Amino acid sequence: MSDASSRVNDFVIRFANVNGTGSASANGLFAKAIYRMGIPVTPKNIFPSNIQGLPTWYEVRVSEKGYLGRSGIVDFVVAVNPQSLEEDIASVRPGGYFLYDSSKPLHRVMMRDDIHFLGIPMMTLAMKNFTQPREQQLLKNIIYVGALAALLDMDMDVLRGIVAQTFKSKEKLIGPNNLALSIGYNYSKENFKCPLDIRVETRDLIGDRILMEGNLASALGAIYGGASVMAWYPITPSTSVASAFEKYCKRLRKDPDTNQNRYAVIQAEDELAAIGMVIGASWNGARAFTATSGPGVSLMSEFIGLAYFAELPAVIVNVQRGGPSTGMPTRTQQADLISSAYASHGDTKHIMLIPSTPTECFEMTAEALDLADRFQTVVFVMSDLDLGMNDHLTPALKWDDARSYDRGKVYTSEDLENMEKFGRYLDVDGDGIPYRTLPGTHPTKGSYFTRGTSRDEYARYTEKGDAYVRNVDRLVKKWQTAKSWMPKPEHLGNENQNNLGIIFFGTTYYAALEAMEMLQDEGISIDALRLKSFPFPEEVQSFIDNHDEVFVIEQNRDAQMRTLLINELNVSPSKLIPILHYDGMPIPATDICTKIVAHLSVNALRNDSL
Amino acid sequence: MSYVKPVFSHPELPANKVGYRKRDYEGAISTLCAGCGHDSISGAIVQACYELSIEPHRLAKLSGIGCSSKTPTYFLSNSHGFNTVHGRMPSVATGATMANKDLLYMGVSGDGDSASIGMGQFVHVIRRNLNMVYIVMNNGCYGLTKGQDSATADFGSISKGGSQNHFHPIDLVGMALELRASFVARSFSGDKKQLVPLIKLALSHPGFAFIDVLSPCVTFNNNVGSTKSYEYIRDHMEYPAPPDYVPKAKEITVDYEAGSGTTVTLHDGSTLRLDKLAGDHDPTDHLAALRRHHEAVANGEILTGLFYMNQESQTLHQLFNTIETPLNALTERELMPGQTALEKINQSFR
């Protein structure tokens, strides 16, 4: 057996479960306990497009150093799914551990001699101690959490504390859950040498961070940002944005006197209707948003063009998944960049904000509502499945109570009263952004006809070429104005130490940070820029200009962000080297590191031979 | 547009209760073909809004795409209008209604817009009982793309080019009745006497008020053999329940012989009298409406008038329990829960 050195707070544990058997709460209990012990933790759900029966995994990375990306290596597997046993045994690194339900013996051919097998008769223990079949199945999961507590030296009080808190309103469940924890704990103590060389130790490394999903954070961002109308159609992985919005609105958006709602959530008949409702509500002055994923954006594209051209605010949270077509609905990708940036027919482009953390999902969704009103256009929040549906260790959410909403340029009744003539598409301020009016504002002034067909500055229908050109050129001016309103990219690297740079964005953040440290260990110092928006602020052009080679790391096949950079900036394509990962799993740091090192070695060889 | 509508109107034309003259409800000059049924419907909308003393800016007009959907330019210039995308007006109207429950919403669509590309949104807006008037200007053909049959073209109807339609029509009235739309009527663009009160009634109805208005296409579907021509419709029209709308502010007038009709009380307290031409049809009886409709289809009659009206109709806002203040009028104070609440949320994720 290799790797006998002790690994404290530095390992990956993978739970192999059957979908729909209640494993999620047991696994969540495990991750929460690590978090409460003060150790950085990243859990990831790896789940099928299925409700019941298919294999599902939950991968938890424990990292004293605070690495929050996926490692790609599995040190420990907890296997309670016979369907995936073979695959699960194969996934353990040499010297790692395989904990399984030994109620039925493992077949000899499955055994590996380079890993440790830990058998616990979980189902037998559950049947012995609990009577109801459903209870036996659920608590079998808690038994393995108890076993892990002994094997990994976890704090049982922390676990019991979480159980007590979880079942605060269903007190009779506390006893059986604690019993299950103890059964697993005691079995391990009696049958194995505890703790193992892989183990945890209490730390204080969390600071003011919480463990939250991006979708929930986006929903809260929409509530704090003032969205009062939400229209949506169910689609993985965005659905939980809508359900969280409604759940928290019920708590936070009730009129205290009448108990009536200060919000409306409409489950539309399809994505076309969902975006239509958002546009209708925005046109009429309410803040509105929708959440969807790639296929939904495809369906919304006609309406997105209307909103762009007629200049109406709309916020779309795009929780990206693997495409094209139905693709991999339960796997992550950053593959909707081009289809969102240029959604719809004709000359269109749209603002995109790109969060990397749930905290940014919160901030950017609120920000998107401001920007949509300010620029009277569609704003995408480009999340992804990894960010949206997994818990992430993220700074606590903050809101400045003194902050007011930027409702953009909207004429009031008084403004109209003092005005000679209202022109809906007049560039009054020279920034490309016109003033709008809301229906019902003034009895005789300010009405206009909103349409997707060409019109003049006074919203009068026209097919005259020069009026059309004036209008679409003004839209470009508006786009230029938007650049200076975008969140600045984050500069993360070692500036000017050499000529290498990396550009990344969204959930690639976590792996990129870790990869930078790995490269540093190999003596490769690299400058880094994290993008947060489209259009690109000036800093992006200068970052690329200041380096000879820039690696663009992204989670799609076609290097879509690289294409956007080439398309929108003045850059030589040969300068931008794509580093791509697109198997549907979050990108691991080792992958980035290996590909960059390989590229540099090839270049070094080439230079040597010259 | 190559010519301009004169702005002159007679100074002695009377103003309505809110001080507007009929001219204030008109729109730009129509660019539809001369004699188009749609222009008569625009005229009826103007008349209805004027008579109801609706302040023009308190109404929003929405449409899809097609000849019918161009018409909102030709009425109510002082109202905000929205010419959306083909077949998707209902969703935009839904969002707009959610944002501001205090305005009136007039949706205009066509048979292509509602019975084909927009069928999905049409049936779902019925299902949600959105508080709006939804007029389909139904001519059985695609006018703006030069006369192709639409899904409401009748079986056997002959097109201008002489070909016969082999498909059974999608009957929007039948569909609305089946889906329990809370207000279902049909009229004819050439019958202003019936259409104006129907629109007034629809505007007063809390919920989805659907009026299928047969509106002949003079250019592409007014030929011999067409079942959507002026001549054919006039020959086959029957009235189940032509309404007369009586606003609550007025006393019920004695235009009708006592006991010869039915009186219906609306939610806002105004009443509707159905005169004796109504026969025995009770428009609050859903089953009867379905039966009359099926019988008419079987007999080849075109029934016009009010088929059904649900007096218990609840709007989407009522179903959603939204607050009295329109959502678009809420400010940070009502919308933003504050840092203290956020800290509590943070705490639940520690």
- CA separation for the pair A340, B184 (Å, rounded): 41
pLDDT at B270: 56
A286 vs B contacts (CB less than 8 Å): 95, 98-100, 326-328
Task: Provide the residue range defining the domain that includes A419.
Answer: 409-486
Task: Provide the residue range defining the domain that includes B46.
Answer: 22-315
pLDDT at B161: 87
* B128 within some domain: yes
* B191 within some domain: yes
Q: What is the CATH number of the domain that holds A268?
A: 3.40.50.970
Q: What is the CATH number of the domain that holds B184?
A: 3.40.50.970
Which structure tokens are listed for B266? 């609306």
The minimum CA-CA distance between A604 and chain B, rounded to whole Å, is 48
Angle at B77 between CA B73 and CA B82, to 5 degrees: 50
Amino acid at A21: T
* A207 within some domain: no
Q: Which of A295, A296, A287 has the alpha carbon at shortest distance from A268? A: A296
pLDDT at B3: 58
Among the candidates A362, A395, A428, a domain finishes at A395
Among the candidates A166, A199, A232, a domain finishes at A199
* A400 within some domain: no
CB distance A283–B95 less than 8 Å?
A: yes
Residue B142 · residue B87 · CB < 8 Å: no
* B324 within some domain: no
- CA separation for the pair A589, A516 (Å, rounded): 8
pLDDT at B7: 65
The minimum CA-CA distance between B254 and chain A, rounded to whole Å, is 35
pLDDT at B265: 56
Q: Is residue A419 domain-shared with residue A383, that is, in the same domain? A: no
Give the H or E element holding residue B136.
strand B132-138
SS3 B294: helix
pLDDT-derived band at B301, boundaries 50, 70, 90 = confident
- CA separation for the pair B69, A219 (Å, rounded): 36
With 0-12 / 13-18 / 19 or more C-beta atoms within 10 angstroms meaning exposed / middle / buried, residue A344 is buried
With 0-12 / 13-18 / 19 or more C-beta atoms within 10 angstroms meaning exposed / middle / buried, residue B4 is exposed
Residue A596 · residue A520 · CB < 8 Å: no
- β-strand A55-63 against A41-46: which pairing, if any? antiparallel
pLDDT, average across residues B145-168: 92
CB distance A276–B84 less than 8 Å?
A: yes
Q: Is residue A467 domain-shared with residue A364, that is, in the same domain? A: no
Which structure tokens are listed for B308? 């059904």
The minimum CA-CA distance between B203 and chain A, rounded to whole Å, is 17
B346 vs A contacts (CB less than 8 Å): 210, 396-397
* A48 within some domain: yes
- CA separation for the pair A139, A148 (Å, rounded): 14
- Count of pairs with CB atoms under 8 A, one residue in A, one in B: 225
pLDDT at A22: 84
Residue A399 · residue B338 · CB < 8 Å: yes
* A402 within some domain: no
Q: What is the CATH number of the domain that holds A565?
A: 3.40.50.920
Q: Is residue A430 domain-shared with residue A302, that is, in the same domain? A: no
Q: What residues 187-246 of chain A have any CB closer than 8 A to a CB of chain B?
A: 210-212, 220, 223-224, 226, 228-229, 231
Alpha-helical (H) ranges within A192-327 are: 214-224, 239-252, 271-283, 294-310
**Would you give the DSSP letter of residue B246?**
E
Q: Is residue A481 domain-shared with residue A497, that is, in the same domain? A: no
Alpha-helical (H) ranges within chain B are: 37-51, 67-70, 89-99, 111-112, 119-128, 172-178, 192-204, 230-236, 286-299, 316-320, 332-335, 339-347
Chain B residue whose CA is closest to A448: B80
Which structure tokens are listed for A98? 């395989």
* A578 within some domain: yes
Q: Which of B23, B17, B26 has the alpha carbon at shortest distance from B54? A: B17
A372 vs B contacts (CB less than 8 Å): none
* B145 within some domain: yes
Q: Is residue A328 domain-shared with residue A415, that is, in the same domain? A: no
pLDDT at A602: 84
B93 vs A contacts (CB less than 8 Å): 280
B88 vs A contacts (CB less than 8 Å): 272-273, 276, 302-303
Q: What residues 429-448 of chain A have any CB closer than 8 A to a CB of chain B?
A: 437-444, 447-448
- Classify residue A259 as left (phi > 0), alpha (psi -120 to 50) or beta: left
**Mean pLDDT score across all residues of chain B:** 88
- Report how far Cα A108 is from the mean position of its chain's Cα atoms: 42
* A527 within some domain: yes
Q: Is residue A27 domain-shared with residue A176, that is, in the same domain? A: yes
Residue B174 · residue B295 · CB < 8 Å: no
- pLDDT tens for B198-248 read 999 999 999 999 999 999 999 999 999 999 999 998 888 876 555 555 544
SS (H, E, C) A50-69: CCCCCEEEEEEEEECCCCCC
Q: In what order do the strands lie in the sheet with B262-265?
A: B243-246, B271-274, B262-265
pLDDT at A176: 96
- CA separation for the pair A159, A30 (Å, rounded): 8
Cα separations (Å) of A236 from A47, A241, A330, A332?
11, 10, 7, 11
- pLDDT tens for B31-65 read 999 999 999 999 999 999 999 999 999 999 999 99
Angle at A92 between CA A88 and CA A94, to 5 degrees: 145
Residue A229 · residue A311 · CB < 8 Å: no
A578 forms beta bridges with: A552
SS (H, E, C) A391-439: EEEEECCCCCCCCCCCCCCECCHHHHHCCCCCCCCCCCCCCCCCCECCC
Q: Is residue A280 domain-shared with residue A344, that is, in the same domain? A: yes
The minimum CA-CA distance between B214 and chain A, rounded to whole Å, is 26
Residue A211 · residue A17 · CB < 8 Å: no
pLDDT at B251: 31
pLDDT at B234: 87
- CA separation for the pair A384, B64 (Å, rounded): 33
* A137 within some domain: yes
* Tokens 């790639």, located at residue: A294
Q: Is residue A142 domain-shared with residue A120, that is, in the same domain? A: yes
Give the H or E element holding residue A476.
helix A465-483
pLDDT at B250: 37
Helix A133-152 to helix A174-191 angle (10° resolution) is 50
pLDDT at A497: 58
Question: What percent of chain B stands above pLDDT 70?
Answer: 86
CB distance B94–A399 less than 8 Å?
A: no
pLDDT at B235: 87
Q: Is residue A354 domain-shared with residue A495, that is, in the same domain? A: no
pLDDT at B257: 39
CB distance A284–B99 less than 8 Å?
A: yes
Domain count, chain B: 1
- pLDDT tens for A404-414 read 999 999 999 99
- CA separation for the pair A566, A571 (Å, rounded): 6
* B335 within some domain: no
Whether residue B249 is predicted with pLDDT greater than 80 in this model: the reply is: no
* B115 within some domain: yes
Q: Which of B96, B83, B84, B60 has the alpha carbon at shortest distance from A304? A: B84
- Classify residue A304 as left (phi > 0), alpha (psi -120 to 50) or beta: alpha
* A1 within some domain: no
CB distance B85–A306 less than 8 Å?
A: yes
Q: What residues 278-337 of chain A have any CB closer than 8 A to a CB of chain B?
A: 278-288, 302-303, 306
Q: What is the CATH number of the domain that holds A39?
A: 3.40.920.10
Cα separations (Å) of B114 from A229, A449, B166, B196, B290?
25, 21, 20, 22, 21
In sequence order, the 6+-apart residues with CB closer than 8 A to the CB of B342 are A220, A224, A397, A398, A399
Which structure tokens are listed for A526? 């690299």
The minimum CA-CA distance between B24 and chain A, rounded to whole Å, is 9
- CA separation for the pair A155, A185 (Å, rounded): 11
Q: Phi and psi at residue A31, in whole multiples of 5°?
A: -65, -40
Cis, bond preceding A195 (omega within 30 deg of 0): yes
- CA separation for the pair B131, A542 (Å, rounded): 54
Q: Using CA atoms in the order B59, B64, B70, B72, what is the torsion angle rounded to 10 degrees?
A: 0
CB distance A281–B337 less than 8 Å?
A: no
Q: Is residue A436 domain-shared with residue A584, that is, in the same domain? A: no
Q: Is residue A170 domain-shared with residue A66, that is, in the same domain? A: yes
* B323 within some domain: no
Radius of gyration of chain B (CA): 21
CB distance B338–A253 less than 8 Å?
A: no
Domain count, chain A: 4
Q: Is residue A505 domain-shared with residue A523, that is, in the same domain? A: yes
Instruction: Give me the residues of chain A with pLDDT under 50, please.
Output: 1-4
Cα separations (Å) of A461 from A318, A581, B1, B101?
33, 48, 9, 29
Q: In what order do the strands lie in the sheet with A55-63?
A: A41-46, A55-63, A10-18, A74-79, A92-101, A116-120
Residue A461 contacts B, CB cutoff 8 Å: yes
Whether residue B181 is predicted with pLDDT greater than 70 in this model: the reply is: yes
Q: Phi and psi at residue A265, in whole multiples of 5°?
A: -115, 125
pLDDT at B256: 32
- CA separation for the pair A561, A555 (Å, rounded): 10
- CA separation for the pair A96, A116 (Å, rounded): 6
Cα dihedral sign, A380-A386-A390-A391: negative
Residue B244 · residue B280 · CB < 8 Å: no
Nearest to B91 among A273, A399, A400 (CB): A273
Residue A130 · residue A109 · CB < 8 Å: no
Q: Which of B245, B143, B163 has the alpha carbon at shortest distance from B204? A: B245
Cα separations (Å) of B98 from A74, A282, B129?
50, 10, 12
Angle at B242 between CA B241 and CA B243, to 5 degrees: 105
